[in-house]
Structure 1
């Protein structure tokens, strides 16, 4: 308590020096960065035709995308799957319902559009089991999908998501014979909560993924492939350069990854109408131990250590980056920069339109081929598969 009072005594005058309103905005921005995200309504269900099994939604850059997606809602159904766009005008998109909704079912208006598609492992119709990974944070739940290869895939979900985000990739690796471990990590709502319950943007979460590597090695794996989605990409990259098992990492696959947090946070601040110096000051707050604690962070966050473009020379494993240039949430700039910095290791096929973590949904064939062909080129597709 004494140290916190000391932090307040030093930090508050420093923030007030830039103006009270700016100081409030800076602290609020810093707190938002490290606070686990909650799912927010981003569209509305305008009509459901249970006879034709169609659904009408607000037209947004996400809801107008071709492909298969999901909707989180409330009422009789908590999650529904949706398919092809059947029609659209300036305000409304009409899509096919892939979840059978019975007449008289209650489907509430507010909804959140999702690229997950699969919400539980049983939907894949593959053998699987629940396991616990003993990590520094405590026992972290994971789903294990067995396979014949001694190279395991370890998948890491993104910010504000859970393990279900990763399920789309399981059949791809299963077809190659690779066992897949879909993991959780501290403060994601499934794994144990840390003392402060805040994200460290990969700076501490990587230790839980490292524990998953240890689990795989103890249970028959000789090598692992790390796959990270969005912030899970940042965690996977931190694991790749920090783990004592890093020589066992055969390859890295990244979908819409955070490669450099400064690039991402500046972009997101602009999207929210926040101008400089607020994002720069917010990151400065998070880099200072005393000020970081004022924002709710457990420790200072070293953004230099999280900048994998600057640390590109430390990468050792071949890396595949799948990133839409129309991401809309995590810009692809840093991914391109990493690919340019390490053309010897990084492969980045071109994707566009698909937006954030939705390449599988938008172009399942192209996404699957990109992974399968690249894994084959790395010698990671067993001859019998």
Structure 2
């Protein structure tokens, strides 16, 4: 289903500036959903023209078959992210973490436990629109999967690479990750940019509010008026790419991570 590893597999864009960036894809998706975002961030330069190093791992259970995702505990995703974080720390003085949807939750979870200098989030998954998802741990023993949840894109003729089935066992693990991450938000001190779509059929807008209200660091919420959940592939992608690139570039040049005016 995901045979093109150049599109769906891990992405590593080497860089020599002081900043490394770790970007994470969403639940049931692949790195294809955040590759353009990663390339845009890689365009940031320091005063000497050096680029940041950017890593985008393919999270365990993704890019294969949904049955494999059903077998993954949430700790497998956390550990895979940690591995890439430490790889960046060996190469760069400072690390920025970011992610889309579940990737945003993992970025927050990392920022609460590791030393990071900035956080970039696109519709982070801390609260889901479908409230029945909270009962997935009860349903998964009898209902293995439901129709896929991917492809929430407003822009016409854009398809997200994602599973056509959603394993309920994995949803149960996502619930654990979200619950634990919400409790850890006060431990986050890094400045954070949260891109929030005004219309999102997957993640509740409460997720951005939770970050803004409970994180200990400065938080800037940027509303996306013309995108659905997968905003990295939608109409507002150029806006979030520009703001992300500029934030990383400021950091690379010894300036403040948060933009003066995110609009």
TM over 0.5: yes
| Structure 2 counterpart of 1:182, from 56, 69, 76 | 56
Unpaired runs of 5+ residues, structure 2, are 45-50, 145-167, 255-263
Shift of residue 163 of structure 1?
1.4
Q: Give the C-alpha shift of residue 231 in structure 1.
A: 1.1
1:381 aligns with 2:239: no
2:198 to 321, 325, 333: 325
Query: Once the 2 structures are TM-superposed, how far is the Cα of residue 361 of structure 1 from its aligned partner?
Result: 3.0
Is 1:165 the counterpart of 2:39? The answer is: no
1:349/1:370 contact within 8 Å kept:
no
Is 1:370 equivalent to 2:243 in the alignment? yes
Q: TM-score, normalised by structure 1?
A: 0.49
For 1:199 and 1:352, the matched residues in 2 are separated by: 34
Contact 2:123 2:197 in 1 (8 A): yes
- Matching residue of 2:99: 228
Q: CA deviation at 1:204?
A: 3.3
Shift of 1:359: 5.1
How far apart are 1:303 and its partner, in Å?
Answer: 4.7
Distance in 2 separating the partners of 1:294 and 1:364: 36
Does the 8 A contact of 2:78 with 2:106 survive in 1?
yes
Does residue 250 (structure 1) correspond to residue 117 (structure 2)? The answer is yes
- 1:268 is matched with which residue: 116, 120, 130? 130
Greater strand share, structure number: 1
SS at match of 2:193: strand
Structure ranking higher in helix proportion = 2
- In the TM superposition, 1:67-106 aligns within 5 A as none
For residues 164-202 of structure 1, the C-alpha deviation after alignment (integer angstroms, 9 at most, x for no partner) is 1121112322221211112112111359x97x84344x4
1:4 aligned residue: none
2:188–2:217 Cα contact (<8 Å) kept: no
The CA distance in 2 between the partners of 1:217 and 1:343, in whole Å, is 23
Tell me if 1:210 matches 2:82. yes
Give the TM-score taking structure 2 as reference length: 0.69
Higher RCO structure, 1 or 2 (CA under 8 Å, sep 6+): 2
**How much has 1:340 moved relative to structure 2?**
2.5
Q: Who is 1:68 aligned against?
A: none
Equivalent residues of 1:360, 1:367 under 8 A apart? no
* 1:1-37 C-alpha deviation (Å, 9 max, x unpaired): xxxxxxxxxxxxxxxxxxxxxxxxxxxxxxxxxxxxx
Q: In the comparison of the two structures, how many residue pairs are matched?
A: 222
CA contact (8 A) 1:172 1:368 kept: yes
Structure 1 residues 314 and 143: alpha-carbon distance in aligned structure 2, compared to 1, 3 A threshold = same
Distance 1:187 1:367, change over 3 A: same
Separation in structure 2 between the aligned mates of residue 150 and residue 190 of structure 1, nearest angstrom: 34
Change (3 A) 1:329 1:224: same
Checking the alignment, whether the CA contact within 8 Å between 1:173 and 1:179 is kept in structure 2 is: no
* 2:213 aligned to which of 340, 359, 363: 340
Over alpha carbons, which structure has the higher Rg?
Answer: 1
Unmatched runs of 5 consecutive residues or more in structure 1: 1-37, 40-77, 80-118, 122-140, 270-277
Contact 2:61 2:72 in 1 (8 A): yes
